[in-house]
Amino acid sequence: MYAPVKKGNIYSFQHVEKPSEIAFDYTRTMLPPKKFFVRPKDEMLRLKGGKWEESNGVEPIVLFGVHSCDIHGLEILDKVYLDEPVDPYYKKRRENSIIIGMSCMPDEYCFCKSLGTDFAMHGFDLFLHELPDGWLVRVGSVKGHEIAWENEELFEELTEEDMRNFREFEEKRANSFKKHLNKEGLEDMLDLAFNSPVWKKYEKICLGCGNCNMVCPTCRCYEVCDLWMNAYEAVRVRRYDSCFMESHGLVAGGHNFRPTRLDRFRHRYYCKSYFDPSAGFNCVGCGRCDEFCPAKIEHVKVLDEVREGLQ
């Protein structure tokens, strides 16, 4: 079982043995739960005797305490990785995991409410909502039903009071958001703002480190390379890549399709704000890119400035 654990000032999903290790009131982990499905460094194939063999199997895991925005993030990854042709590694890991969601209170970085990802209707097995005297549990899958069925003694019937408390909590939560993204016509607005001076302003501030890509629950670019383990064995490994790296847009012969930091900075905003009619935006408003940006660039502020520049 993996759950949020506090280490220094940072929360992260770690292997836990007992409830006391879990940080129930965490805001956000540095790396989103995607790290369990799209690994930062992931062995795909192993070369033995001149033949590729599939790498070892997958251990079943329980992910406890996943916030609603991260559940939405995983659903966006599902769209890509489970689409034909299915990514076998991702699929196996998704099938072998149990997702237990947990309610949260937003901090100054969260803007998930603006994107409609502050509440999860699916994408989890169980979802725990905090109440004054326990948890209200929503069941989101067959697997979730089975868990509830097998552990009947842990559950009590829902009362009117529980529902009232749940509503109060959700209301309080909805009113606690400090950041709002104006998503009205966002994708069209950005399309018009390709030459906005705001991009040029931020190009100078951005360090091009790619941190925002690493911590983003929906960023999924990866690079592949082969590594020799010894004279007879090699592995094919994929690892996170970042569209902020110059090599990302490079092709044979040295031509680069996104040669400047301006191109790369803008590209990320376009990719995150792309609106898919069936899946929504590619951003879930978790606030990680803001919190972990060493240059203190704020996602919502950039988009607001671009919008203002158009008016």
Partner 1 sequence: MTFQTHDARILEVKELTSREKLFTLRFVDPELNRSFKYKPGQFVIVDIRGFGEFPISLCSTPTREGYFQLCVRRVGRMTKYMHKLKEGDIVGIRGPYGNGFPMEKMEGSTLVLVAGGLGMAPLRSVLWYALDTGKYEKIYLFYGTKAYEDILFRDEVIHLLKHGEDMNCHVKLAYEVETPSCIYLEKGYSPRVCKGVVTDLFRGETFDVENTYALICGPPVMYKYVIKELLDRKLSPGRIYMTLERRMRCGVGKCGHCIVGTSTSIKYVCKDGPVFTYWDALSTRGLI
Question: Least distance from C-beta 212 to partner 1, angstroms?
Answer: 14
Q: Does residue 277 belong to the site contacting partner 1 (CB under 8 A)?
A: no
Question: Least distance from C-beta 219 to partner 1, angstroms?
Answer: 8
Q: Does residue 96 belong to the site contacting partner 1 (CB under 8 A)?
A: no
* Ramachandran category for residue 204: left, alpha or beta (phi over 0 → left; psi -120 to 50 → alpha): alpha
Residues 90, 80: contact at Cβ < 8 Å?
no
Place of tokens 């400090």: 178
Q: Which of 7, 15, 40, 86 is in the footprint of partner 1 by CB under 8 A?
A: 86
Q: Which of 42, 70, 241, 291 is in the footprint of partner 1 by CB under 8 A?
A: 241
Q: Does residue 226 belong to the site contacting partner 1 (CB under 8 A)?
A: yes
Residues 210, 244: contact at Cβ < 8 Å?
yes
Please, which residue, 47 or 61, has the CB nearer to partner 1? Answer: 47
Residues 43, 58: contact at Cβ < 8 Å?
no
Q: Which of 21, 119, 222, 262 is in the footprint of partner 1 by CB under 8 A?
A: 222
* Cα-only R_g, the chain: 21
Q: Which of 8, 19, 132, 253 is in the footprint of partner 1 by CB under 8 A?
A: 253
Question: Least distance from C-beta 188 to partner 1, angstroms?
Answer: 6
Question: Least distance from C-beta 251 to partner 1, angstroms?
Answer: 5
282, 221, 284, 280: which is closest to 68 by C-alpha? 284
Q: Tokens for 92, please give them.
A: 């196996």
Please, which residue, 64 or 90, has the CB nearer to partner 1? Answer: 90
**First vs last Cα of the chain: how many Å apart?**
50
Residues in binding contact with partner 1, number by CB under 8 A: 49
Please, which residue, 45 or 136, has the CB nearer to partner 1? Answer: 45
Per-residue binding letters, 142-181, with partner 1 (x by CB under 8 A): ----------------------------------------
55-81 burial: b if 16+ Cβ within 10 Å, else e: eeebeebebbbbbbbbbbbbbbbbeeb
Q: Does residue 251 belong to the site contacting partner 1 (CB under 8 A)?
A: yes
Q: Does residue 257 belong to the site contacting partner 1 (CB under 8 A)?
A: yes
Place of tokens 């790498």: 55
Please, which residue, 25 or 188, has the CB nearer to partner 1? Answer: 188
* DSSP tag of 126: E
Measured CA distances, 83 to 89, 112, 215, 264, 275 (Å):
13, 25, 23, 26, 17
Residue ranges that bind partner 1, judged by CB under 8 A: 44-45, 47, 50, 52, 54, 80-81, 83, 85-88, 186-188, 190-191, 194, 220-226, 228, 234, 236, 238, 241, 243, 248-255, 257-258, 267, 269-271, 273-275
